[in-house]
A and B are shown apart, each in its own frame.
Chain A
Amino acid sequence: MKTKFTLIAAIAGALALTTAIAQSASPSGPATGKRPNIVIILGDDLGYSDMGCFGSEIKTPNLDSLAKAGLRCTQFYTSASCSPTRSMLLSGVDTHLNGLGNMDEWAAPNQWGVDGYEGYLNNRVTTLPQVLKDAGYHTYMVGKWHMGKSPDKIPAARGFERDFALLDGAGSYWDMANFTAANPRSTFTEDGRYLKSLPKDYYATKTYTDKIISHIEANRGDGKPFFAYVSHQAPHDPYHLPRNWRNRHVGQYDKGWDVVRKERLQRQIEMGIVPKGTELAERMWFLPDATLLAPAARAIMGKKMELYAGMVENMDHHVGRLIDYLKKIGEYDNTIFIVFGDNGAEGADLFKMIAGTPGTRNFLFASMEWSQTHPNAWGDPHTYVGYGPMWAQVSMTPFSHYKGLMGEGGIRNGLIVSGPIVKQAPGTINRSVMHVADIMPTLLEVAGASYPKTVNGQEPPPLIGKSWVKMLAGEAESPRSEQDYLAWEIFGNRAVRQGDWKLRWQYKPYGTEEWELFNLATDLAERHDLAAQHPEKVKTLLALWDDYVRANNVILPSRVLWEGQAKQLPDRYPVVDGYPPLLYQKQFIPPPNMLADPKP
């Protein structure tokens, strides 16, 4: 076994070296002066409104402190799903060209074997860490990778000097347990080697933080800046959490999701995150009004949200440890922090999809490994808790939809940028349209590096992002012009945005399978389809969509995960609060002076 790993490592090293040589053709060289360190903190499935500074009741003092010192951006976009977002973050290239045209787990038959749909970050693109390393940065990565597992695809082969990485898309926070019979163990790497076991006292969020601090510490003082990609697994399900973090919100969510959404929206309006008058998105039609549920049902579902809140707070705690460390070593003031979630909050029942039905091998596997279901055990190893679509909508307040879907709740996320490149007043809220692919050109500019002209002997796909540097410096309102547009496609759902207008197409039952038009300046919740009133705008945006498809080789999938869901879910009708009145009418109490006993 040792020989095998040595061989793999040698191949990986050779590949990495080859890639480095091929990609080092055109670095512009380190900029003069002390360049800033860069820390990217990625929350997995972290929702738009889950940080305190974006209106949450969840306590995130450390993340809030970054927002207070820096900038909050309210119109920041990602993909609707995780590895596509990660691929754009690290490559700056559209997903349909960088290998994550679809998630590996859901690639459709007509996408198999097609360039851009490999299911991992392909070798036609370079990576942000690779370019930064070539430009003289130390490059460190901890946490979830999810962009390939073979030696030529792991973090060490894609530009990271040091890593401690979970290669899978999710897994236990406590150990190497994964979810299916075919893939029972998560795969981890540390510094380019595949781990046989995990460190003692492993807990994902804690260990990732320990490791990134140790990476920084190991090279501290050599004069080189560092790039640290802290790709937290949290708060992705399963909600595994140390016991002392589980009971910080006991009973707080029993009031139900609609109440919490309203409270968050109110805070967002007060903070200026969203404009006054913003509506809440319609509650998903298949979700009940929580006020009509029995206390026990509300308590059980509320407990899931309690756990999720604990996950976010625990992550914030460990972010605080990193911040404290950087302050202690005197690097905090020279460090850029970029914080965001990788897509909308998770509303799907992932475990149900994975565990399958009785009689399947995955069900048998789940029975053995993931069957601890008692609420008091939630958070322990062998438990699998996700909070469901009702709380995902809360996490995405005030938007519609969640992860995987093309509503703003699927693709918009809260972004914090702080550090020396932010020259606006501390705590400023920026409302310009931004995209995860902007990070690559932004950080190349910060580092004084340039995008290589060739990668592995070929011209790489173009960067699709826009640098934020001028905007962060207060020299520009937005990194984009009114003519620039953004477009998305994942799982067959698609959207395009230019200015305030957004055109959206979604599979039933979540969408209409027709193009719908929304004006986000007045309708953040995407409640009012204006396609019929503005056919010329539809036409304009459709032309942009077609342009996007051509430029990025978008192949709509022949199979999608939405198949059959219209039959599984209830028929869709508009959700109107208080309807039907029958369920809300209260006991009539007659005037006391008109009460009487029956006559004999």
Chain B
Amino acid sequence: MKSGTKPRREGGRIPSISHSRRLATAMLALTILGPMFALAQVPPRFYWQSLSGANAVPVIFQSLSGNANPMDPAYVISPDVSGSVDANVAIVGYAKMLPLFDRTLTLAVLEPMGRISGDAIVDGRSFSQDATGFGDPMIELGINLIGPKAMKSIPDLLRYEPKLSLNAIVDIAFPIGEYDNDQVLNLGQNRWYGRVGAPIVWQIGPWVPGRRTTLEVLPSVWFFSDNNDYSGGRTLSTDPMFQLEAHLTRDFTEHFWGSLDSTWMAGGESSIDGAGLDSLNNLGVGLTLGYQINDNISLTAGYMATVNDSDPGDLQMDGFRISFTYGWHKIVEGQKRLKAAE
């Protein structure tokens, strides 16, 4: 776990405030997309319900490149300085499904960790920053409002069809991740943030493995508190930001599926010490392939990139994501043990 700023060319000095602002502007733009690539962008089919009592440990690895920091909502690399950021982030989590008044309650915690490095050329000078360690942990609380009742038995699971399901989720990130106020590239963000959202899963056609099709939409609003120790003690403020994720998923076989993904973010105008930056209006598109390896393990691999990024000042980012999820339930595991003993 370390963080530091080191000059790559012509000595080491932190970019001037104007340069930092320009950097912050670009990175803030990416911050809006940042959750898409980092914490907030969940894989397709994430909000399908499962058997009450089921447990899951997701491990998500992301490799991202762009002109902003995907982990920091205020770090900007101005396009006219040709900044770039690379991030290799892993997110490990735990999720459990429980029944609550016959509805499915989902509790999840996600912890990001990894390495970020960024380049910036300001006034002909290039600087490199990097940060490693743990980011801000996030918890998610979700409950199904419309859709099948909580699945309390395997027969319920056998009969599960989402049809039209609507959940309500609340995410809260705790500002305890690695943070160094001497630099603008950090894994932690030194402020509270979170979102409220309403994931919707709409089953299209039959719910038969090999033929399942879903349209999944997640509208959400992100909220940020101020970071009062931002890059040298300044104050970073960010307005609420609207995000809309959408996935059109389709089975190819019983265990293999694909998804067309998109995410759009708007708003979230930030300011540093009262100086406003641009608000966001970014669209990313991508695709995901998923495979259920066995009863316990599923795998997804995806790619996403910004598309409205042709202007020099636009956010440019793309990233690969691979996720493993290990799930288990004591009934299923018990049956396996008995079968193995036969």
Contacts and interface: CB of A to CB of B under 8 A. Distances in A.
Nearest to B209: A374
B341 interface: no
A377 B159 contact: no
Contact of A254 (B155, B209, B211): B155
A251 B198 CA distance: 30
Contact of B161 (A251, A294, A300, A376): A376
A375 interface: yes
A123 B224 CA distance: 89
B48 to A, nearest CB: 14
B208 interface: yes
A325 to B, nearest CB: 32
Given A296-B158, A299-B159, A376 B153 contact: no
A104 B208 CA distance: 37
Given A376-B206, A376-B207, A377-B206, A299 B154 contact: yes
A298 B155 contact: yes
A372 B251 CA distance: 14
Interface in A362-389: 372, 374-377, 380
Given A243-B206, A299-B159, A380-B206, A374 B254 contact: yes
Contacts of A375: 158
Contacts of B211: 377
Contacts of B254: 374
Interface string B143-156: 00000000001110
A272 interface: no
A251 B158 CA distance: 11
A295 B154 contact: yes
B155 A376 contact: no
A367 to B, nearest CB: 14
Nearest to A254: B155
A281 to B, nearest CB: 28
A258 to B, nearest CB: 18
B208 A380 contact: yes
B342 to A, nearest CB: 15
Interface residues of A, number: 17
B158 A299 contact: yes
A396 B158 CA distance: 28
B210 interface: yes
Contact of A295 (B155, B207, B209): B155
A246 to B, nearest CB: 10
A374 B154 contact: no
Contacts of B158: 296, 299-300, 303, 375
Interface residues of B, number: 13
Contacts of A299: 154-155, 158-159
Nearest to A243: B206
Contacts of A251: 155, 159
Interface in A345-370: none
A31 interface: no
A243 B161 CA distance: 13
Nearest to B211: A377
Contacts of B209: 374, 376
Nearest to A298: B155
Determine which residue in B207, B208, B211 has the highest number of CB atoms from chain A within 10 A of its CB, and name it. Answer: B208
B249 to A, nearest CB: 16
Given A374-B254, A376-B161, A296 B208 contact: no
Contacts of B154: 294-296, 299
Contacts of B206: 243, 376-377, 380
A11 interface: no
Interface in B183-210: 206-210
A294 to B, nearest CB: 8
A83 to B, nearest CB: 34
Nearest to A300: B158
A295 B208 contact: no
Given A374-B254, A376-B161, A296 B210 contact: no
Nearest to A383: B208
Interface string B206-236: 1111110000000000000000000000000
Given A296-B158, A299-B159, A374 B153 contact: no
Nearest to B155: A299
A566 interface: no
A295 B254 CA distance: 24
A250 interface: yes
A251 B148 CA distance: 14
A374 B208 CA distance: 7
A366 to B, nearest CB: 16
A299 B152 CA distance: 13
A374 B211 CA distance: 11
A377 B159 CA distance: 11
Nearest to B161: A376
Contacts of A294: 154
Interface string A243-262: 10000001100100000000
A289 B188 CA distance: 60
Contacts of A374: 208-210, 254
Contacts of B159: 250-251, 299
Interface string A229-251: 00000000000000100000011
A376 B158 CA distance: 8
A310 to B, nearest CB: 15
A375 B154 CA distance: 13
Contacts of A296: 153-155, 158
A375 B208 CA distance: 8
A303 B159 CA distance: 9
Nearest to A247: B159
A372 B253 CA distance: 11
A295 B154 CA distance: 7
A70 to B, nearest CB: 39
A376 B161 CA distance: 9
Interface string A506-519: 00000000000000
Interface string B252-277: 00100000000000000000000000
A372 B211 CA distance: 11
Interface in A285-318: 294-296, 298-300, 303
B210 A295 contact: no
B100 to A, nearest CB: 21
B133 to A, nearest CB: 45
A298 B159 CA distance: 13
A299 B157 CA distance: 10
Contact of B208 (A250, A300, A377): A377
A380 B159 CA distance: 16
A295 B161 contact: no
B235 to A, nearest CB: 54
Contacts of A243: 206
A295 B158 CA distance: 11
B103 to A, nearest CB: 19
Contacts of A295: 153-155
Contacts of B155: 251, 254, 295-296, 298-299
Contacts of A372: 208, 210
A297 to B, nearest CB: 9
B82 to A, nearest CB: 53
B216 to A, nearest CB: 19
Nearest to B207: A376
A375 B159 CA distance: 9
The 5 closest A-B pairs by CB, nearest first: A299-B155, A296-B154, A377-B208, A376-B208, A376-B207
18 contacts: A250-B159, A251-B159, A294-B154, A296-B153, A296-B154, A296-B155, A296-B158, A299-B154, A299-B159, A372-B208, A374-B208, A374-B209, A375-B158, A376-B161, A376-B206, A376-B209, A377-B208, A380-B206
Interface of A: 243, 250-251, 254, 294-296, 298-300, 303, 372, 374-377, 380
Interface of B: 153-155, 158-159, 161, 206-211, 254
Given A299-B154, A376-B207, 13 more contacts: A243-B206, A251-B155, A251-B159, A295-B153, A295-B154, A296-B154, A298-B155, A299-B159, A303-B158, A372-B210, A374-B208, A376-B209, A380-B208
